[in-house]
Amino acid sequence: MESQFVLVEKEAVAGFHFPQEEVLKSEKEIKLLRSELERAIALGNLEHQKVKIYFEDDKKKKLVHTTIWAVTDNSIVLKQNVVIPIRRIHKLEI
């Protein structure tokens, strides 16, 4: 799966455009992602541990390796207020 994703710098994410569609198709996958996000935010805040975030913008599948600073109902927030909508995240690798 990882080979389908292009590694990008977190600073580049701010310039990406994210469609409204959800990339995960099942409710089970979405719930699993939510629990992974909760774990990642705890590790990020406590230990500044980086995670791999597999996501998709309007052009292609991408991967960023960074710390998640906050999780809202709809998005994750990285350093410098860079935001990725949760609906566009395929998975996390903690």
Q: Mean pLDDT in the chain? A: 93
Question: 49: pLDDT confidence band, cut at 50, 70 and 90?
Answer: confident
Which domains, from first to last, does the chain contain? 2-93 (2.30.30)
Q: Which residue has the higher pLDDT, 48 or 10?
A: 10
Q: Which two tokens stand for residue 18?
A: 């994210």
Task: Give buried/exposed letters for 43-77 (b at 16+ CB in 10 A, else e).
Answer: bbeeeeebbbbbbbbeeebbbbebbbbebeeebbe
DSSP string for the chain: -GGGSEE--HHHHTT----SS-S--SHHHHHHHHHHHHHHHHHHHHH---EEEEEE-SS-EEEEEE---EE-SSEEE-GGG-EEEGGGEEEEE-
